[in-house]
């Protein structure tokens, strides 16, 4: 008797998906999040009913086992990553890694091989103001300082950069107060730094930063303007080390050895060794690791003369990554790389079949692959509140072929120049190619054919991928049944999207945001206007979570220059306000001391005493907030500041490190754990204060 087939068989990939899902929902599931609980119950119930009806009990057992295994691994990984909290000054010893940034006034470095008070500890993100000593990669530092624990999750989302770098703490110190001893430099650091030096010596600074990101996945040197150009044009994937890069690399090595008439066993062995070495040099970036494992699986299956299954290979790669690094399941880059594979497998055959009827086959292939991948990563782009360029598939027609030549050439020259330094002159050709790429990206990035995305809920994301699966080639049903199922899912998706787009609506509120010891306060008025005091890494994430498009007014305790405004352009502010800055700039407003200024829905005043800025007083709607200076206020000025605050009678005081400003007359918020203030970041995390009649509703965001 024939059994009706509904889907193609990709057992390993389906197991991986439920394993991944088990990790992702674990935290919310066991704290009783209603939405997560309902989704899990629906999915597991559907599996039990379907597989039970089909009498596939072994499959059912395996699926349930990997789901709960994922749950367990999440809690084990979170417990293993937890960091000890230290109060007061501690003794720190650590090595300067090659995550190293130098400015005119400071060094920002990641310290590894860390010990705190003699105990082994996680890496530290350290900011050293420049003094009499010079820092170098590989040196060991010994000093005393206060350290702040870095939360692994912010707004319920993994801070991927923190997890990848193994960070547990942040601190600030001066190079004048440290003892420096000789250390060592790892092999991969030597390779990266040598290539980086040659790239920067032979290319423009902007193109060199892009080239370094393309090779090793480190995009920290790329300016915001260049990053936005690539992102808005829809080709951001080429400046991240991903499957595209690894595919080019495998093709290059395997093809070269094949031309040399190399035995196929030796060919595959050498290619795998080179790929593994490349993973090591890229510091085991999840996207590189996933793509490399898939590439290795392709070659091994070809060697065994077995049919290659893309989804099962992606599943194997995913299992390997998550077993060794479970919290990578929350890394958006990792999720996007898996989603791209799914999108191409599910949708590419359908699009290609349609497009090849009206255009050349090679054009149809490029467009269908690009469109399939773009559709699959929409939910993750939405989490960043990004825009989708409707012409991205057109620009990929120009850029991908160019990159197919540019990347292998860059790779070969980079590593050959390690042995033959005179070859570094050929980086000039790469410089020209990247200039052409950026020019093409700039033309398309200015297109008005862009759709702004809003963050999606978990239920909307699940429905979206379920729709892709049903519409794709793996769901083998009669056309009418497939059409009706898709229509049903679309109705559910629209309804869910409507709910998710309203769930984050905010009438009026005050955010206190703290990241790596940097504080920021964001105000949102009832009409939707916004004002920020200070800036940090998670301000843009908070804005994305609450559908905030821009910061209308940006206030700074420090002076502002045209360069500062350029670096803050992502906030699209109408005015940048400070007490001292470049007065000739139209968008920089120099506020008078001690006078109330009105901008839109906000009244604010810079409060000064003894020639220093004590803080900023902000009044909007029926809420008043005093934000104390982010610099530590001198003990002698604390009493003056308290008297001023009591005269202003604010509802909330953001004290920061100035704990002595805490008072029973108002809600006080501090940056660290202490007994004086009402709320503190170390205990309560990031906070949102929403006015509710005459009181405030306080929401913990972490």
Residue 486 has pLDDT above 60, yes or no: yes
Q: Among the residues of 511-560, which ranges form H helices?
A: 539-545
Of the candidates 551, 553, 554, 515, the one whose C-alpha atom is nearest the C-alpha of residue 534 is 554
> Is residue 110 a contact partner of residue 165, using CB atoms and an 8 Å limit?
yes
- At 529, phi and psi to the nearest 5? -75, 150
What is the rounded CA–CA span in Å between residue 255 and residue 445? 35
**Distances from the Cα of 690 to the Cαs of 121, 546, 601, in angstroms?**
38, 13, 16
| 450-452 and 387-389 beta bridge pairing | antiparallel
Q: How confident is the model at residue 201 (pLDDT cuts 50, 70, 90)?
A: very high
Ranges of H-type helices in 524-624: 539-545, 562-567
pLDDT value at position 503?
53
pLDDT of amino acid 616: 93
Q: Are 219 and 236 in contact (CB under 8 A)?
A: no
* CB hemisphere CA count around 624 (13 angstroms): 13
Per-residue model confidence as pLDDT tens digits over 604-662: 999 888 778 889 999 998 899 999 988 778 777 888 888 888 889 999 999 988 888 88
DSSP 650: -
- Is the CB of residue 476 less than 8 Å from the CB of residue 5? yes
Look at 13-27, 355-369, 478-492 and tell me which has the smallest mean pLDDT. Answer: 355-369
Separation between Cα atoms, residue 159 and residue 179, nearest integer Å: 31
* Each residue's pLDDT tens digit, 375-429: 888 888 777 666 677 777 777 777 878 887 888 888 889 988 988 888 889 999 9
Closest CA to 240 of 277, 215, 266, 269: 215
Give pLDDT, residue 1.
41
Q: Which residue in this structure is represented by tokens 């994305």?
A: 544
Torsion of CA 391, 396, 397, 401, to 10 degrees: 170
Confidence (pLDDT) at 495: 84
Kindly state the DSSP code that residue 526 receives in the 8-state scheme: T
DSSP per position, 389-401: ETTHHHHHHHHHH
Surface-to-core class of residue 400, CB atoms within 10 Å of its CB (0-12 exposed, 13-18 middle, 19+ buried) = middle
Confidence of residue 279 (pLDDT cuts 50, 70, 90): confident
Torsion of CA 201, 203, 204, 206, to 10 degrees: -110
Query: Which of helix, strand or coil describes residue 673?
Result: coil
Name which residue leads in pLDDT, 149 or 583: 149
DSSP assignment of 17-28: HHHHHHHHHHHH
- Token readout for 516 is 């790596």
**pTM tops 0.85:** no
Q: What is the percentage of the chain residues whose pLDDT exceeds 70?
A: 93
**CA neighbor of 94 nearest in space, from 145, 132, 23:** 145
Other beta carbons less than 10 A from residue 555's beta carbon: 28
- Over residues 531-540, the pLDDT tens digits come to 999 888 788 8
**pLDDT band at residue 230, thresholds of 50, 70 and 90?**
confident
> What is the rounded distance in angstroms from the CA atom of residue 570 to the CA atom of residue 17?
35
- CB atoms near residue 628 (< 10 Å): 27
Whether the CB-CB separation of 403 and 211 falls below 8 Å is answered with: no
How many whole angstroms from its chain centre is CA 147?
Answer: 24
The reported pLDDT for the residue numbered 41 is 92
* The two three-digit tokens of residue 308, written as one number: 């290659």
Residues ≥6 apart with Cβ < 8 Å to 661: 628, 633, 638, 641, 642, 645, 653, 655, 668
Give the CA-trace dihedral at 464, 467, 472, 476, to 10 degrees: 150
Q: Which pLDDT score, from 0 to 100, does residue 523 have? A: 94
Q: Which residue has the tokens 């470049």?
A: 582
Contact 508, 691 (CB under 8 A): yes
């Amino acid at each position: 008797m024939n059994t009706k087939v509904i889907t193609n068989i990709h057992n390993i990939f389906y197991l991986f998906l439920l394993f991944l899902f088990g990790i992702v929902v674990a935290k919310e599931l066991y704290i009783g999040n209603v939405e997560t609980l309902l989704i899990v119950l629906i999915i597991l119930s559907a599996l039990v009913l379907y597989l039970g009806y089909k009498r596939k009990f072994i499959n059912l057992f395996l699926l349930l086992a990997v789901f709960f295994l994922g749950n367990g691994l999440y809690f084990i990984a979170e417990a293993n990553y937890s960091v000890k909290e230290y109060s007061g000054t501690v003794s720190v010893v650590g090595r300067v890694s090659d995550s190293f940034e130098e400015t005119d006034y400071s060094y920002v470095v990641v310290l590894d091989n860390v010990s705190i008070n003699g105990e082994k500890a996680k890496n530290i993100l350290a900011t050293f103001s420049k003094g009499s000593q010079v820092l170098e990669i590989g040196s060991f530092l010994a000093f005393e300082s206060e350290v702040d624990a870095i939360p692994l999750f912010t707004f319920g989302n993994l801070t991927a950069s923190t997890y990848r770098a193994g960070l547990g703490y942040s601190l600030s110190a001066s190079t004048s107060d440290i003892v420096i001893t000789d250390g060592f430099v790892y092999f991969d650091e030597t390779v990266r730094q040598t290539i980086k030096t040659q790239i920067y010596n032979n290319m423009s600074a902007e193109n060199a930063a892009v080239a370094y990101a393309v090779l090793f996945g480190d995009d920290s040197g790329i300016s915001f303007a260049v990053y936005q150009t690539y992102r808005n044009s829809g080709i951001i994937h080429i400046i991240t080390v991903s499957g595209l890069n690894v595919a080019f690399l495998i093709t290059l090595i395997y093809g070269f050895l094949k031309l040399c008439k190399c035995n196929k066993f030796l060919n595959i062995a050498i290619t795998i060794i080179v790929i593994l070495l490349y993973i090591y040099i890229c510091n085991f970036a999840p996207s590189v690791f996933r793509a490399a494992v898939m590439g290795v699986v392709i070659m091994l299956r070809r060697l065994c003369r077995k049919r290659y299954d893309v989804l099962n290979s992606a599943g194997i790669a995913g299992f390997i990554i998550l077993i060794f690094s479970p919290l990578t399941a929350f890394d958006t880059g990792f999720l996007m790389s898996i989603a791209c594979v799914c999108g191409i497998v599910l949708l590419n055959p359908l699009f290609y079949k349609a497009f090849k009827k009206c255009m050349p086959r090679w054009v149809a292939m490029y467009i269908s692959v690009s469109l399939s991948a773009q559709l699959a990563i929409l939910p993750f782009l939405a989490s960043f509140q990004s825009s989708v360029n409707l012409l991205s598939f057109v620009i990929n027609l120009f850029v991908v072929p160019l990159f197919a030549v540019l990347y292998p050439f860059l790779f070969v020259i980079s590593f050959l120049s390690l042995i033959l330094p005179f070859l570094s002159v050929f980086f000039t050709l790469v410089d020209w190619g990247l200039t052409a790429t950026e020019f093409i990206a700039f033309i398309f990035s200015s297109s008005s054919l862009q759709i702004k995305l809003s963050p999606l809920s978990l239920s909307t994301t699940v429905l979206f991928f379920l729709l892709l699966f049903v519409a794709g080639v793996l769901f083998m049903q009669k056309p009418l049944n497939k059409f009706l199922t898709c229509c049903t899912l679309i109705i559910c998706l629209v309804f869910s999207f409507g709910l998710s787009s309203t769930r984050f609506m905010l009438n009026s509120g005050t955010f206190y945001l703290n990241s790596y010891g940097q504080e920021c306060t964001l105000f949102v008025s009832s009409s939707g206007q916004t004002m920020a005091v200070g800036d940090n890494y998670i301000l843009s994430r908070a804005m994305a979570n609450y559908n905030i498009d821009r910061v209308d007014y940006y206030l700074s305790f420090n002076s502002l220059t045209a360069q500062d405004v350029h670096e803050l352009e992502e906030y699209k502010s109408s005015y940048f306000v400070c007490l001292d800055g470049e007065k000739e700039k139209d968008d920089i407003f120099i506020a008078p001391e001690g006078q109330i200024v009105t901008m839109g829905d906000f009244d604010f005043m810079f409060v000064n005493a003894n020639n220093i800025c004590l803080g900023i007083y902000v009044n909007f709607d029926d809420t008043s907030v005093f934000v104390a200076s982010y610099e530590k206020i001198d003990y002698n000025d604390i009493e003056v500041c308290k008297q001023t605050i009591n005269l202003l009678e604010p509802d909330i005081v953001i004290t920061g490190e100035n704990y002595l400003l805490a008072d029973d007359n108002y809600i006080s918020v501090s940056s660290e754990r202490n007994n004086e203030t009402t709320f503190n970041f170390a205990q309560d995390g990031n906070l949102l204060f929403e006015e509710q009649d005459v009181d405030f509703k306080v929401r913990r965001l972490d």
